[in-house]
Chains A and B, each alone.
Chain A
Amino acid sequence: MWKNRITITLTVSFGASLLQDIRKVVQTLEQAAREILTVLQSVHQPSGFKEIPSKCARARELFCTVRTQITDLKTKFPMEQYYRFHEHWRFVLQRLAFLAAFVVYLESETLVTREEVARILGIEVVREKGFHLDVEDYLAGVLIMASELSRLAVNSVTAGDYTRPLRISNFINELDSGFRLLNLKNDPLRKRYDGLKYDVKKIEEVVYDLSIRGLAKESESGGDK
C-alpha cells in the first residue's frame, strides 16, 4: 500500500526471471561444450593422431545434446529479443562454433561454412528465421580454431607427422588473407584477430624448422617463406 503511483510507473519488467532461465540453460551448454573439447583435446596426444576420425565421430554425437539444449534455450525468451540477451550465450556460442569448426577441419581440412556450423548446432543463419549464429560469433569461433591449429602443428611434429604442419600453414595463411578483407572496428573481434598473426608466425616457424632439415617431404612453396 506504500507502493504509490510513481513506484508502479517505475517498476517495469526487466525479465529478471527470464534471465534466470537463460542462465541455467547456458550453463548446461557450457558443460556440453567442455565435454566436446575434452574429447577433441586428445588429438594432441601422440596416440590421438590415428584416432582422429573416431574422436570426430564421438564429438558429433555429443553435438546432439547441444542441439537439444539450444532448442530448450530458444523457448526461454521471445525470439525478437535475441540481442537483448545476446551477451549471455555469446561466449558459449563462440566456443561451440570453434568446436564445430575444429571437427570439420579435422575431418576434411577445410574451413567450415557458417551454414554448416549453424546446421551442426541446430540454429539459423539469418536473424529473421529465429535463433541464429551472428557473423561475428562465427568469426570469433574460427579464430579460436586458428590458435588450436597452431598448437596442433607443433604436436603433430612431435608425433612424427611432418606433412600436417604444411597443410595447416596453407590453411591458416588463407584464413589470414580472408580476415584481412574485413574492415574490423576496435571491438572484441578485432582484438582476437590481432592474435592471429602470432598463430601464423608460430606455424611458419614449425614449417621453417621442418624444411631446413629436409623433413618436409612435400616440397611446397609455402615451406620456404
Chain B
Amino acid sequence: MNKREGEACPRKNADSASDRDTNANPSSPVIAAFKVFQQELDTKHDKYERLVKISRDVTIDSKRTIFLLHRVTSVPDAEDVLKEAEVKLDGVRQKIGQIAEELRGEDIYQFHRAFTPGIQEYVEAVSFLHYIRHRSLISLEEINARLVFMRAEKGGAETLQPGAQVLTFHVTPSDYLLGVADLTGELMRMCISSVGNGDIETPFQLSQFLRQIHDGFSYIGNTGPYEVSKKLHTLRQSLGKVEDACYALRVRGSEIPKHMLADVFSSRTTLMDPEEGVV
C-alpha cells in the first residue's frame, strides 16, 4: 500500500521533528502542548508494540503445543505427551502474565488488537488439551481461572506489603469464541489422523462433539462479533469433513480391512489439506 518513508524509519521521523523543533518557537503554547501529546502517543505506541511482541511469542508457543498434541494419537504413552504439553502451556501462561503486567491499570480493550491473536491461539491450545483429557469443552471461566498471577511488589514496597500482588488476565468472550472456532479445525485433523491409526472410535466421538459446537455457534448466529460469523463457515466445512469420514467408516468399515481403511483416509487428507490454509 502507500507506505511513506516516515513509517519505515521512525528514527528519521524523530530527527526531522527535532530539526523542525529549532525552527519553531519553543515557548509557543501550541508547541508545548504538542510536546505533551508526543510523549503520550509514544508511550502508548511503545506499550502496543511490546504487547504485539509478547502476543507473537504466545502464538508461536501455543502452535507448537498444538503440534505436540497432534502426536497423541500415534504415541503409545499419551500421558507423557499431555504432561509435556502442560509444561509448555505453563510457559505460555507466564507470557500472558507479562501481558497482564503491561495492562495493569489500563483498559484491556484499548490494546486488545495487539494481543488478540496470541490469546486466541492460547485458547485453542488449552481447549485442545482439555478435550483430549476430558472429552469436553473447557469453559471461559476455567480458562480465566488459570490466568491468575502472583507478582512480587517491586522495589522497597516489599517491606510495607509482605506477600505478592495478585494479577489476573481475563480472556474476552469474543477471543474465547474465536479460539474455540479454531479448535474445531484441529479436531478435524485429529479425526483424520486417528482414522489413519486405525482408531475408529474417536471419529464418532469427535463428530458428535463438533456437531454440538456447531449447534452452539449457530445459536449465537450473527448476534456475536463479526469475526465469529466468518469462522462459522470454516467450522461447517470441518464438520462436513468429519461427518463424511464417519459416513465412510460406517459404510465401508466392515468391508475393508483396517490397513486399507487407513489408506482411504490418508488419501482424503491430502485432498483436504490445500483448503486448510489457516491453522
Binding site for B on A (CB under 8 A): 2-7, 9-14, 16, 80-84, 86, 110-111, 113-114, 127, 135-136, 139, 174-175, 177-186, 190, 194
Q: Which of B35, B40, B107 contacts A81 (CB 8 A)?
A: B107
Provide the residues of chain B in CB contact with A180, threshold 8 Å: 16-17, 20
Q: Is the CB of B31 within 8 A of A186?
A: no
Provide the residues of chain A in CB contact with B112, threshold 8 Å: 83-84
**How far is it, in angstroms, between the C-alpha of A10 and the C-alpha of B219 when the chains are bound?**
9
Provide the residues of chain A in CB contact with B29, threshold 8 Å: 110-111
- B1-45 Cβ-contact flags toward A at 8 Å (1 or 0): 001101100100110110011011100111101110110111001
Further pairs besides A81-B107, A178-B30, A186-B3: 20, Cβ < 8 Å: A3-B219, A4-B216, A5-B137, A6-B137, A6-B216, A7-B212, A10-B217, A10-B220, A13-B173, A16-B223, A84-B109, A111-B29, A113-B33, A179-B34, A180-B17, A181-B21, A182-B38, A183-B42, A184-B6, A185-B7
B213 contacts chain A at the CB level, 8 A cutoff: yes
Tell me, rounded to whole Å, the shortest Cβ–Cβ distance linking A19 to chain B. 10
Q: Which of B30, B41, B173 contacts A174 (CB 8 A)?
A: B30
* 19 CB < 8 A contacts A-B: A3-B219, A4-B215, A6-B215, A10-B220, A11-B216, A81-B109, A82-B109, A83-B108, A84-B109, A113-B33, A139-B37, A174-B25, A175-B30, A181-B38, A182-B34, A182-B41, A183-B14, A184-B41, A185-B45
Q: Is the CB of A6 within 8 A of B34?
A: no
Given A6-B215, A83-B110, A186-B7, residue A181 in contact with residue B223 (CB < 8 A): no
Provide the residues of chain B in CB contact with A11, threshold 8 Å: 216, 219-220
Within 8 A of A (CB), among B91-139: 107-110, 112, 137, 139
Provide the residues of chain A in CB contact with B223, threshold 8 Å: 14, 16
**How far is it, in angstroms, between the C-alpha of A5 and the C-alpha of B108 when the chains are bound?**
29
Given A12-B140, A13-B173, A183-B17, residue A178 in contact with residue B34 (CB < 8 A): yes
Binding site for A on B (CB under 8 A): 3-4, 6-7, 10, 13-14, 16-17, 20-21, 23-25, 28-31, 33-35, 37-38, 40-42, 45, 107-110, 112, 137, 139-140, 173-174, 176-177, 180, 212-213, 215-217, 219-220, 223-225
Provide the residues of chain B in CB contact with A114, threshold 8 Å: 33
Chain A's closest residue to B44 (CB) is: A135
Main secondary structure of the interface of B (DSSP, over half): helix
The A-B contact count (CB < 8 A) is 120
**How far is it, in angstroms, between the C-alpha of A185 and the C-alpha of B216 when the chains are bound?**
40
Provide the residues of chain B in CB contact with A184, threshold 8 Å: 6, 41
Closest 5 CB pairs of A and B: A178-B34, A10-B216, A83-B109, A177-B24, A12-B173
**How far is it, in angstroms, between the C-alpha of A3 and the C-alpha of B224 when the chains are bound?**
17
Tell me, rounded to whole Å, the shortest Cβ–Cβ distance linking A174 to chain B. 5
Q: Is the CB of B215 within 8 A of A181?
A: no
Tell me, rounded to whole Å, the shortest Cβ–Cβ distance linking A22 to chain B. 14
Q: Which of A13, A80, A81, A181 contacts B20 (CB 8 A)?
A: A181
Tell me, rounded to whole Å, the shortest Cβ–Cβ distance linking B221 to chain A. 10
Q: Is the CB of B38 within 8 A of A4?
A: no
Q: Is the CB of B38 within 8 A of A183?
A: yes
Q: Is the CB of B109 within 8 A of A178?
A: no
Provide the residues of chain A in CB contact with B213, threshold 8 Å: 6, 10
Q: Is the CB of A181 within 8 A of B35?
A: yes
Q: Is the CB of A174 within 8 A of B31?
A: yes
**How far is it, in angstroms, between the C-alpha of A174 and the C-alpha of B110 when the chains are bound?**
31
Provide the residues of chain A in CB contact with B31, threshold 8 Å: 174, 177-178, 181
Tell me, rounded to whole Å, the shortest Cβ–Cβ distance linking A203 to chain B. 16
Chain A's closest residue to B16 (CB) is: A180
Tell me, rounded to whole Å, the shortest Cβ–Cβ distance linking B144 to chain A. 11
**How far is it, in angstroms, between the C-alpha of A174 and the C-alpha of B220 when the chains are bound?**
52
Chain B's closest residue to A9 (CB) is: B139
Provide the residues of chain B in CB contact with A12, threshold 8 Å: 140, 173, 176-177
Q: Which of A5, A10, A179, A185 contacts B180 (CB 8 A)?
A: A10
Q: Is the CB of B107 within 8 A of A9?
A: no
**How far is it, in angstroms, between the C-alpha of A5 and the C-alpha of B138 when the chains are bound?**
11
Q: Which of A14, A81, A185 contacts B173 (CB 8 A)?
A: A14
Tell me, rounded to whole Å, the shortest Cβ–Cβ distance linking A5 to chain B. 8
Chain B's closest residue to A10 (CB) is: B216
Chain B's closest residue to A193 (CB) is: B6
**How far is it, in angstroms, between the C-alpha of A3 and the C-alpha of B223 when the chains are bound?**
17
Q: Is the CB of B17 within 8 A of A7?
A: no
Query: Which of B13, B24, B213 is most buried by chain A, counting CB atoms within 10 A of its CB?
Result: B24
